[in-house]
Structures are given as C-alpha cells and as structure tokens.
Structure 1
Amino acid sequence: MSRDGSIRRRDCAMPAASADLRVRSQVEIRALLRQMVQNDIPVSLGGADLPTYSTSLWAEDSEHQVLVFSVDPKAEAVQRLVCAGDLTATAYLDNVKIQFDVDDLVLVNGRVGSVLNASYPREVFRFQRRSSFRVQPIGRGRAQACMAHPELAGRQLELRIIDLSYTGVALMLAEPLDLFQRGQRLPNVLLELDAGTRINTGLVISHVSRVEAIGGAYWRIGCELAGLDLVTERELQRYIDQTQRRSRLLTL
C-alpha cells in the first residue's frame, strides 16, 4: 500500500469503471473481515513469483489496526511471504470475491502457536459477477473430477474439487506429477459433485500453482469448462445454487 493508503498494482490494471468496487469505509471493511473470521473463510496469500499460501483470518482488530492470520511456521512459503514486498489476500464470501493488499507482514511465535500479523487494510476490492460465482462442495461425499490422462495409460486420475463456478473448476493434485500445462485440453472429464449430480465436460487448463497449506503442499489446477450443452449448464447452475443455499444455512 502506498503512503496515501491507496491500493498498489491494480490501479493501473483495472478500468475506471471498477472504481465503484472499492470499499474504503472502515465500517464496511470491518464487516467484511469479521465475516471472514466468524465463518473461517479460506484466504489465499500470494504475490508475483510466489507460491500461494492457503490460510484463514484468525482475528481482526480495527482498534489497533492489525490483522492476524493462522500459519504453519514450518511451511517454506511462509518465510518467502514475510520477506516479500507486494502481497495480496484473496477470499470468497458466497458469490463475492474479496481482495486487498497485505502490508507489514510479520511472523509472531508464541507459546501456544504462531500467527502472521499484518496492517489493517485501508481499502478492499469487492467483485460480484455471476460468471465468477464460486462454491466449495459440501457434504459427506468428496466431490472429484475423474479423467484418463494420455501420459498415464491404464490409470484414471481422481482429483478433489476445491471449488467450482459456472465457467470453471479448481482441482487439487496431491502428487508431484508433471502432467498439466497451461492451455492443455482434457476431453471427457467426469465431475462427480454429489450423489445425484454428475457432469461430463471438457477442461482447458488455465493455470497450475503450488500451494503451501498447513496440511501440506499441493498443486492447484485451475480449469475452464468447455463443451457444456444447455441441459448440463442448467444442471450445473442448479447444483451451484443449492450449494450456496446450504452454505448459508450452515452459517446461521
């Protein structure tokens, strides 16, 4: 963040029409951050040429202008984040993407554990677009993507679904397999979302990133959905809408 409190980096990249997406009211900012704390919302910390670190906002203190993130101090990514300059936090509150700069990041070690402290944001970006609504599968069964990969003859991959939108899906790869590259097309992928929802689709790899999480490192495979017919699109929309409603009920 610059000395006048304005967001870095994105000012030049974002169009003028996005100005109304800025939240500068401290009351509104605190309300968003409190939702993240109370609902234990996953938060991704990252920056240019840095691995994404998945964590959560443990506490927010507007009086002392401090944010407190949960952390595994042994994770390799943590030290790199602390030493980095330009960092961004990204989280999703239902269908709203929340993003803000993370400044003055410090690793604090205590008797009962460790945390990451950062300055309270003076500005937050809030994005709300139907095409980017993302949900995390809930329920007892594990949502997964099943596919045959050309480099793994006779073996079917079953990758956990991290989150899903109307246009894309993020998958978790726990093994260090060099199988996915940006732009790669994967036909005939089966998304098993729940006991009654299975979607056949093609995928186009949009990005592959290593994520350092408290439970261990994994690879996040971001994909675009390709070749959905009208019936399948409606089925996907029904699943996403139902999952959003169930998520809200669980937080009441």
Structure 2
Amino acid sequence: MFSDTQPAPLDLAGDASLADFRITDAVEIRALLKALMERSTLVNLCGADGSAYGTTLWNLDTHNRKVAFTVDMMAPTVQRLVESEEVTAVAYLDQIKIQFDVGSRLLVHGARTCVLQAAMPRELFRFQRRASFRVRTLERSAPTASFRHPQMPEIRMDLRVLDVSIGGCALFLPADLPMVEPGIQVRGVQMALEPDTQFPAQLNIAHVTAIHPQAKGVRLGCEFRGLDHEAQRSLQRYIDATQKRRRMLSLD
C-alpha cells in the first residue's frame, strides 16, 4: 500500500480515501506521540526535497502544543529540514505506521543538546504496515477466494482464505483440485472475507508450500495486484476488526 520509510502520498488519494486512517482527536494524538517518546521509537523526518533524518521524539509539551526531536546541529540534513517547504514524520508502533506533518520548525540550542522544535500536529495518520502483519481468518465466517482455474477455466475453485494482510493472502488448495503453479497471475478473483467484506482482486501466486500430511492440501501464498482504494479500505477494516476479535477470544 505505502512504502515503509517514506510518507504516504496524501495529496494523491483524496480526502475520502484517507478518512479511515486520519486521527483528529487530540487525546488520541497525544497518546500516540507519548508512546513514540516513551519507547524511543525511531522517527524519520522526510523533507519535500527528498532529504531524510532519523531521530527520536525528545519532548512533548501539551500545554504549549509543541514537540521536540533530538538532532545533531552539525548534520547538514538538519538545516535543510528546517528550511524545507514541508517535513513529514514517519514512525512505527508495532505494525502500525504513524505519519504526521512537522510544521513551524525551529532549532533550539541548549547547554549540551540541540533539539528541533515543532508544532504539535492537529491530525495524524495510522496505516497498517504493508505485507508485514497478517491476521488468521476466523473459520466461522468461512472466508473464500473464488475464481476459475487459470489453465482449466471449466473448473471453478472456491478456496478457503487462511490468513490475510494488506498486501496478500494465503489460500488452502485441497489435494483433489488441480495445482496452481507459482508465478501464475489469476484474474477475476472474488474475495469474500465476510458478508460485508467482498471485493474483486487479481492474485499473483508467489509460492506453494506443504502444510502437514494430515491437511490433504497445500498453501498458496498470494500477492494482491491492483486493488482499488475502496477494496484497500474494506480490507484494512477487516484486518483491524479480526485482530480485535482474536484478542477478545484470547481473553475468554
């Protein structure tokens, strides 16, 4: 969906497609920034000219609505970021990509340290990290991927979805169905993860692996190709909801 270390192109997708990722609640924004600071999480500051600088969030001043990042005043990139037209911060909390604008930048020199001070963001974006976090599907919802065999179109296949991420999925291919070889692209796939989570897709079969002898089938590792924004949003909601359900089940 989006590059790991670079900002997501917010101006390309349009406001509607970003609504599910945008956070404007001040309390939630402060909580996420506090987590970045307390964990000393690496934050990449990315300038409009392509410059980037790795730092950590050093201070969170909620009263004056200021944040401060640790910087090396001798680093040439730091001065370029101060003068840059736009600067965006990108960081990760577990598998969640955090992104926000860094405005009103000012270098503040102390006795032994130097920090880059900026305005506290009024909005922040949370994105699922691409192709890194997978959720196992819930069997009771019977999630399936339906398509015609790419080499034998007379055979319709309804394969169970074992797990899914924003970048792909794993399917179970029973031993009594013809093999789908790695490298093949499958078009006209209908993904039905839940009654309200269905979308068309194109799959690239990346690999085929055995599960165990008793399974009587193999696992197809698939990559999504060409998902539109609506499908991506629907898939993201499903991943988040399934993750929460599994957490609740583990507490039962």
Structure 2 length normalisation: TM-score? Answer: 0.49
Name which structure has the greater RCO, CA cutoff 8 Å, separation 6+. Answer: 1
Larger C-alpha radius of gyration, 1 or 2?
A: 2
